[in-house]
Chain A
Amino acid sequence: MQRAILILFLLLLGSGPMILSEFHITLLNYIGLSALVALGVVLLTGVGGLTSFGQAAFVGLGAYATAYLTTATELPDWLAWAGGSPWIGLAAGLLLTAIVAWLLGALTLRLSGHYLPLGTIAWGISIYFLFGNLGFLGGHTGISGIPALELFGHELKSGRAFYYVIWVMLLAAVWITRNLLDSREGRAIRALKGGTVMAEAMGVDTARSKIIIFLIAALFAALSGWLYAHLQRFVNPTPFGLHIGIEYLFMAVVGGAANVWGALLGAGLITILKQWLQDLLPKIFGASGNFEMIVFGMMMVLVLQRARDGIWPILARLVPADHGSRTVPQGDALPRNVMPQASADILDVRNVFKRFGGLVANNNMSFTVRAGEVMALIGPNGAGKSTMFDCISGVGSVSEGEISFLGERIDSLTARAIARRGMSRTFQHVRLLPNMSVLENVAIGAHLRGTKGVLPATLHLERAEEQRLLAEAARQIERVGLKDSMFEQAGSLALGQQRTLEIARALAADPCLLLLDEPAAGLRYMEKQTLADLLRKLKTEGMGILLVEHDMDFVMGLADRVVVMEFGEKIAEGLPDEVQRDPAVLEAYLGGVE
């Protein structure tokens, strides 16, 4: 059904210039240009959880770059070769935009979320004034006489001729974006919204993913600017100001920022509404001015209060969804890591302290984990077990002490670097992406086992590797017993199953040390048995397992050695039987005998 609607839409779009009036063609051209920018905002805001108010400034860079290069009569010597050609203008605009976006991104993206939007506001204002005040860009009057595009020997002078250029480029951009999101890099990008800690622990470089989407969004905007300059054949600073940048964001949010088609819908709605309001409001108010701002502002507040996901999801609900492929992915096994020698020490925690201000959460902790054993870390609530996990896996930092993994100091490494060395973990409070399928969630675990980057992903040239990654994820899902839920949304699973999903995700990384934080919590008796069997099997394969768990039957039946913590300190260590008789442990768990 959805496919049929898409084909109908494309047919209508394709036949547009043959049936529509000049006015409607112009309107559609502007919708296409705006949708291209809004598409970038969808990627940035709806998918990645970042926001930019300065996209109009990138449109301006694309437009001014080509306007200057194609019209300037006295280019400086070093630039003379680049004059006259719109295509060189395009390349220059994209390059310039990429540099600026990269710089801005590098500056702001490592900071907490609101610095990027604030940075883009400042940048949007600066560039607007810069356009207006630089003599060689024509100041506030702008640049006119920009040549028309020439394609296969035809000069594209009319809007009707330009129509196909705009819409082909827009649809290509939609295609690229959809391809990218449906890939290894795409899963990393989709994890940015609400899953950065998890993604980093799975080895994703989240800062890099952020820069990538910011760059793509900026490049889409610059492309739109280039098209605008050659369609309009004239540029001045007005359409590149901050308020237009805000409008692009509104398009994405009103349309539906989580979906690529939301960008087209939003661009269409806002462009048509603006046209209509600009006619209507001055008549009502009896004065001229940009009064549509009032309506847009209020509308935006209402949309965010009443339908935060925009209009697209509401429309999409009306049409029965095509079920995506539900066949279990098949593919060759990925290469495995070499497991360390059996019963060698793989993790060595030595005199580790972790302090939060005056609170000592880990006080002089020391223990080891060997390959091919289950080491259990137990203790009453608040003993500091999960803090210890965070220190080992690099999610938190160590205050003092040494942690070595496979003979290498790791206590100052990032979670990402530690994951790369063959350690994987689950979280006590599950961290998964509730709107992604179980399969995709688990595939994030295999992130480091793929190598193909953004470019092949945009063109879907990495399908062979992708297939192997998904097949690996499917195998791990089957292994932990979630096969029946493989295509469900992760958020729809029961809590116990979500924990099991986290184990599959950790296993997909092919670790030699597995850190499990309360894996049996929320599981039923039979499920616990299955989990215990799985862990025993992993152990015989040579994996080391560090386990935090409260279910004593589960722990004692499974663990080879036990470390008991209380108030951040180790109070006992030994075989399960020994520990259970230890007076200090009995006191910690049951209270002292007065």
Chain B
Amino acid sequence: MDLQIAILLAQDGITNGAIYALLALALVLVFAVTRVIFIPQGEFVALGALTLASLQVGKTPGTLWLLLGAGVTVALVDLVQALQRGSHRRMPRIIAWNLIYPGMAAAAIFLLKPAEMAMPLQIILTLMLVVPLGPMIYRLAFQPLAEAPVLVLLIVAVAVHLALVGLGLLFFGAEGSRTPAFSDASYKLGGIVISGQTLWVVGASVTLIAILYQFFERTFYGKALRATAINRTGARLMGISTVMAGKLSFLLAALIGALSGILIAPITTIYYDTGFLVGLKGFVGAIVGGLASYPIAAVGAILVGLLESYSSFWASAFKEVIVFTLIIPVLVWRSLTTHHVEEEE
């Protein structure tokens, strides 16, 4: 390996690592707020990428059917509950978000010819289709179990992952998709070629992280999420709804996942089940941070990206083995620094 290749690999690693870092942040966020280990995080990556790809080639994205189906189910569940509790005032809101909004999304796709739109509009349309699925999934799968042990929530998360992968196969088929790059430009920096897409990915990740930071530090909802993460009961006593916090954190996770998918779709071919491995690599990063620290999780994720890119050069067949074995030294280290016997929730 010469320096040129090493730098190329590093560039690759940092690009992927930036994506893993985003996902790691989403995982830490969801875990801190809801105690759900969000295995389906990666599915949003695939959904984001495949939806954009479908829109660009003029196909109706399967995500639309997912959105309509999930919307109808949530509406049914919520309406029944509202009837039982006699809270009729909630009904217009339920119908608006779960029936009218998906209906309008469908109308937009059938009437507006998304294939001819400019790419930023296509991206916005993609996000509008994918992101609402986050809170809907929270409502259907996790909200009824909000007080269950972490272990039960984890099993539910795995079940949701399985269902989503199956639905992904049903709606998008087994073929992979790739989208055109955001920019074909490439820049020379002292003999090193840096592709425009790399800059896009890294730039977008850093921007998104900065926005999230501002959101958590400055806004009311951001602080409410942080409060819930620190002490659920305490936050609830202060009038912060756990349901709201759960839905909001899932919304952010879906947004981060879909954006990550949109960012990597020009770099790698995405299949219906690609998201899982991508999400898990974010996980390895999150575990490095102990599922608690955002900065360490981000550094861990970059490390995963670099490890993956160099191991694909030396031993490409064993790339996945090497990346997932990274978890072991991390666990050893965590295990050596924990001494206490504690009751599991």
Chain A interface residues toward B at CB < 8 A: 45, 49, 51, 53, 106-108, 110-115, 117-119, 121-123, 125-126, 129-130, 133, 193-194, 196-197, 200, 206, 243, 246, 249-250, 253, 285, 287, 289-298, 300-301, 304-305, 308, 414-415
B94 interfacial by beta-carbon distance below 8 Å: no
- Partner among B37, B148, B156, B331 whose Cβ is within 8 Å of the Cβ of A107: B331
Residues of A within 8 A of B72 (CB): none
Residues of B within 8 A of A414 (CB): 341
* Bound-complex Cα distance A221 to B52 (A): 42
Nearest-CB distance from A111 to chain B (Å)? 6
* Bound-complex Cα distance A64 to B342 (A): 38
B106 interfacial by beta-carbon distance below 8 Å: no
Residues of B within 8 A of A291 (CB): 166, 169-170
* Bound-complex Cα distance A115 to B330 (A): 11
Beta-carbon contacts of B59-89 to A below 8 Å, as 1s and 0s? 0000000000000000000000000000000
| Known pairs A294-B166, A297-B163, A304-B156; A49 contacts B341 (CB<8 A) | no
**Which one of B144, B334, B341 has the highest number of Cβ atoms from chain A below 10 Å of its Cβ?**
B341
19 A–B contact pairs at CB < 8 A?
A: A110-B338, A111-B335, A111-B338, A113-B344, A122-B280, A122-B327, A125-B277, A125-B320, A126-B324, A129-B318, A133-B318, A249-B155, A249-B158, A291-B166, A291-B170, A294-B167, A301-B140, A304-B155, A308-B148
Residues of A within 8 A of B318 (CB): 129-130, 133
Within 8 A of A (CB), among B17-56: 37, 39
* Bound-complex Cα distance A119 to B165 (A): 21
Nearest-CB distance from B239 to chain A (Å)? 26
Within 8 A of A (CB), among B143-181: 144-145, 148, 150-152, 154-156, 158-167, 169-170, 173-174
Q: Which residue in chain B gives the minimum CB-CB distance to A415? A: B341
Nearest-CB distance from A408 to chain B (Å)? 21
* Bound-complex Cα distance A114 to B151 (A): 7
Residues of A within 8 A of B183 (CB): none
Asked if B154 and A297 sit within 8 Å, CB to CB, the answer is no
Asked if A113 and B150 sit within 8 Å, CB to CB, the answer is yes
Residues of B within 8 A of A115 (CB): 287, 331, 334
B235 interfacial by beta-carbon distance below 8 Å: no
B343 interfacial by beta-carbon distance below 8 Å: yes
The prevalent SS among residues of B at the interface is helix
Residues of B within 8 A of A304 (CB): 145, 148, 152, 155-156, 159
Residues of A within 8 A of B268 (CB): none
Asked if B150 and A114 sit within 8 Å, CB to CB, the answer is yes
- Partner among A125, A294, A296 whose Cβ is within 8 Å of the Cβ of B170: A294
Nearest-CB distance from A202 to chain B (Å)? 12
B214 interfacial by beta-carbon distance below 8 Å: no
* Bound-complex Cα distance A130 to B331 (A): 21
B325 interfacial by beta-carbon distance below 8 Å: yes
* Bound-complex Cα distance A106 to B334 (A): 12
Residues of A within 8 A of B342 (CB): 112, 196-197
B284 interfacial by beta-carbon distance below 8 Å: yes
Asked if B321 and A296 sit within 8 Å, CB to CB, the answer is no
* Bound-complex Cα distance A119 to B327 (A): 7
Nearest-CB distance from B325 to chain A (Å)? 6
Residues of A within 8 A of B291 (CB): 114
* Bound-complex Cα distance A556 to B316 (A): 76
| Known pairs A51-B154, A114-B151; A126 contacts B163 (CB<8 A) | no
Asked if A53 and B145 sit within 8 Å, CB to CB, the answer is no
* Bound-complex Cα distance A138 to B152 (A): 38
Asked if B162 and A253 sit within 8 Å, CB to CB, the answer is no
Residues of B within 8 A of A108 (CB): 331, 335
Q: Which residue in chain B gives the minimum CB-CB distance to A431? A: B343
Q: Which residue in chain B gives the minimum CB-CB distance to A197? A: B343
| Known pairs A53-B158, A111-B335, A297-B159; A290 contacts B344 (CB<8 A) | no
- Partner among A45, A106, A130 whose Cβ is within 8 Å of the Cβ of B321: A130
| Known pairs A294-B170, A304-B145; A114 contacts B163 (CB<8 A) | no
* Bound-complex Cα distance A111 to B333 (A): 11
Beyond the given pairs A114-B151, A115-B287, 16 more chain A to chain B contacts, judged by CB atoms under 8 angstroms and listed by A's residue number, are: A51-B154, A110-B335, A111-B335, A114-B291, A117-B151, A122-B325, A123-B324, A126-B321, A196-B341, A196-B342, A206-B341, A293-B166, A294-B163, A294-B170, A304-B148, A304-B159
Q: Which residue in chain A gives the minimum CB-CB distance to B286? A: A118
- Partner among A53, A114, A125, A287 whose Cβ is within 8 Å of the Cβ of B324: A125
Residues of A within 8 A of B37 (CB): 114, 117-118
Q: Which residue in chain B gives the minimum CB-CB distance to A103? A: B328
Residues of A within 8 A of B341 (CB): 196-197, 200, 206, 414-415
Nearest-CB distance from B125 to chain A (Å)? 25
Asked if A51 and B324 sit within 8 Å, CB to CB, the answer is no
**Which one of B166, B332, B338 has the highest number of Cβ atoms from chain A below 10 Å of its Cβ?**
B166
Residues of B within 8 A of A133 (CB): 317-318, 321
Asked if A300 and B170 sit within 8 Å, CB to CB, the answer is no
Asked if A297 and B164 sit within 8 Å, CB to CB, the answer is yes
B243 interfacial by beta-carbon distance below 8 Å: no
Asked if A51 and B155 sit within 8 Å, CB to CB, the answer is yes
B141 interfacial by beta-carbon distance below 8 Å: yes
Residues of B within 8 A of A196 (CB): 341-344
Nearest-CB distance from A293 to chain B (Å)? 4
Residues of A within 8 A of B294 (CB): none
Asked if B166 and A297 sit within 8 Å, CB to CB, the answer is yes
Q: Which residue in chain A gives the minimum CB-CB distance to B317? A: A133
Q: Which residue in chain B gives the minimum CB-CB distance to A396? A: B340
* Bound-complex Cα distance A144 to B320 (A): 26
Asked if B321 and A246 sit within 8 Å, CB to CB, the answer is no
Asked if A305 and B144 sit within 8 Å, CB to CB, the answer is yes
B283 interfacial by beta-carbon distance below 8 Å: yes
- Partner among A51, A112, A121, A246 whose Cβ is within 8 Å of the Cβ of B162: A246
Asked if A114 and B154 sit within 8 Å, CB to CB, the answer is yes
- Partner among B144, B170, B320, B331 whose Cβ is within 8 Å of the Cβ of A126: B320
Q: Which residue in chain B gives the minimum CB-CB distance to A115? A: B331
Residues of A within 8 A of B160 (CB): 297, 301
Closest 3 CB pairs of A and B: A297-B163, A293-B166, A294-B166
* Bound-complex Cα distance A295 to B165 (A): 11
Residues of A within 8 A of B150 (CB): 113-114
Asked if A126 and B338 sit within 8 Å, CB to CB, the answer is no
Nearest-CB distance from B331 to chain A (Å)? 5
Asked if B344 and A300 sit within 8 Å, CB to CB, the answer is no
Q: Which residue in chain A gives the minimum CB-CB distance to B31? A: A114
* Bound-complex Cα distance A432 to B174 (A): 52
Residues of A within 8 A of B39 (CB): 121
* Bound-complex Cα distance A119 to B162 (A): 18
**Which one of B151, B284, B291 has the highest number of Cβ atoms from chain A below 10 Å of its Cβ?**
B151
Asked if A301 and B325 sit within 8 Å, CB to CB, the answer is no
Residues of B within 8 A of A297 (CB): 159-164, 166
Residues of A within 8 A of B170 (CB): 285, 287, 289, 291, 294
Asked if A287 and B173 sit within 8 Å, CB to CB, the answer is yes
| Known pairs A111-B335, A293-B166, A298-B163; A122 contacts B324 (CB<8 A) | yes
* Bound-complex Cα distance A125 to B327 (A): 12
Q: Which residue in chain A gives the minimum CB-CB distance to B337? A: A111
Residues of B within 8 A of A294 (CB): 162-163, 166-167, 170
Residues of B within 8 A of A287 (CB): 170, 173
* Bound-complex Cα distance A32 to B130 (A): 41
Residues of A within 8 A of B163 (CB): 293-294, 296-298, 301
- Partner among B165, B287, B345 whose Cβ is within 8 Å of the Cβ of A118: B287
Residues of A within 8 A of B344 (CB): 49, 112-113, 193-194, 196
Q: Which residue in chain B gives the minimum CB-CB distance to A303? A: B159
- Partner among A122, A129, A253 whose Cβ is within 8 Å of the Cβ of B155: A253
Nearest-CB distance from B13 to chain A (Å)? 19
* Bound-complex Cα distance A414 to B341 (A): 9
* Bound-complex Cα distance A520 to B207 (A): 61
Q: Which residue in chain A gives the minimum CB-CB distance to B319? A: A129
Asked if B343 and A194 sit within 8 Å, CB to CB, the answer is yes
Residues of B within 8 A of A292 (CB): 166
* Bound-complex Cα distance A300 to B159 (A): 6
